[in-house]
């Protein structure tokens, strides 16, 4: 569903700090005529898309939103296969996790280590997660939606 995919992007694809608001995204897209193909969108229309009251935006708007959030337009259209959509969502979760300075530091410190050492680190992290009664994989990163 388009609303779910949009909300997922709003909640996860933003710089450190707070998620984008509908007003900010509308202003960026509407103000970036060349970059976003001259598409105009309002804060209210984005809100209606995100809450499911509008479900059929123009292809031009979908292209602009996909470009803004740096995802394939097929993700917003629902045209990707399940494995392709899952890969996009995994990349979004990865980027959201990398906003955490501690997570980023751990990831960067593992760069250049041999694969077997990286595998050992993964095992150690999994053991810590189990000891702390956390799920084997971290939950999908989410956040409060703002600007609706």
**Are 74 and 8 part of one and the same domain?**
yes
d(CA 51, CA 62): 16
Rg (CA), the chain: 18
d(CA 37, CA 96): 27
**Are 73 and 116 part of one and the same domain?**
no
pLDDT of amino acid 52: 93
Please list the pLDDT of the chain residue by residue as tens digits (148 residues). 899 999 989 988 887 778 899 999 999 999 876 889 889 999 999 999 999 999 899 999 999 999 999 888 888 888 888 888 888 888 878 877 776 667 778 877 888 989 999 899 888 888 888 888 888 776 544 333 333 3
**Are 104 and 76 part of one and the same domain?**
no
pLDDT of amino acid 15: 76
- The domain that holds 17 is classified in CATH as 1.10.260.40
pLDDT of amino acid 145: 33
Domain that holds residue 74: 2-80
- Does some domain include residue 19? yes
Q: What is the pTM of this model?
A: 0.66
CB of 147 closer than 8 Å to CB of 21: yes
pLDDT of amino acid 134: 83
pLDDT of amino acid 139: 57
**Are 9 and 76 part of one and the same domain?**
yes
- Does some domain include residue 75? yes
- Does some domain include residue 139? no
- Does some domain include residue 119? yes
User: What is the biggest distance separating any 2 CA atoms in the chain, rounded to whole angstroms?
Assistant: 53
**What's the total number of domains in the chain?**
2
- Does some domain include residue 65? yes
């Amino acid at each position: 569903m388009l609303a779910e995919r949009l909300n997922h992007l709003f909640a996860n694809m933003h710089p450190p700090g707070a998620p984008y608001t509908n007003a900010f995204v509308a202003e960026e897209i509407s103000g970036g005529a060349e970059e976003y193909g001259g598409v105009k969108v309002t804060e209210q229309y984005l809100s209606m898309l995100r809450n499911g009251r509008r479900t059929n935006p123009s292809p031009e708007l979908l292209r602009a939103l996909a470009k803004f959030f740096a995802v394939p337009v097929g993700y917003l259209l629902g045209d990707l296969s399940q494995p392709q959509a899952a890969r996009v969502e995994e990349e979004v979760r990865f980027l959201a996790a990398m906003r955490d300075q501690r997570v980023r530091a751990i990831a960067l410190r593992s760069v250049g280590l041999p694969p077997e050492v990286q595998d050992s680190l993964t095992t150690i992290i999994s053991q810590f997660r189990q000891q702390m009664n956390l799920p084997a994989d971290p939950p999908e990163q989410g956040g409060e939606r703002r600007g609706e």
